Amino acid sequence: MIIGIDHIVLTVRSLDVTCEFYARVLGFRRSDVQGQPTGLHFGQQKINVHETGRTFDPKAVHPTPGSADVCFITEQSIEEVCCHLKECNVEVEVGPISRTGARGEMTSVYFRDPDNNLIEVASY
């Protein structure tokens, strides 16, 4: 019945800090449309970004900054990702490390965004 994920929602402390981080570190593209959540676009997906106290309905019962744990897939090597993270002054928390993803074996690196969400970038 389900074939994919269209978008997820992150609740954050600062819209601008979060959007700058995801644009600079992961190359996401920000979009702002009046009356809609700010979007961070990548590939054929997006993240809707809700700022604490300025969320959109319907929403999770207890939207909380720092509660997400998400994995993004890259076509770059994990070594390239690690070099880029270092250039962006982003501290790698774990990795590179072997993991099993939805499509099988992959190599991952973990770090935190400005709200301490756990971000995994993986390469198959």
**Dihedral angle, C-alpha 16, 17, 20, 21, nearest 10 °:** -150
Q: Which residues are catalytic?
A: 120
**Phi/psi at 106 (nearest 5 deg)?**
-150, 165
- Strand order of the β-sheet with 45-51 is 7-12, 45-51, 38-42, 29-31
Q: Can you tell me the distance from the alpha carbon of 59 to that of 63, in angstroms, rounded to the nearest whole number?
A: 7
**Phi/psi at 19 (nearest 5 deg)?**
-65, -40
User: 59 to each of 11, 55, 70, how far by Cα in Å?
Assistant: 10, 8, 18
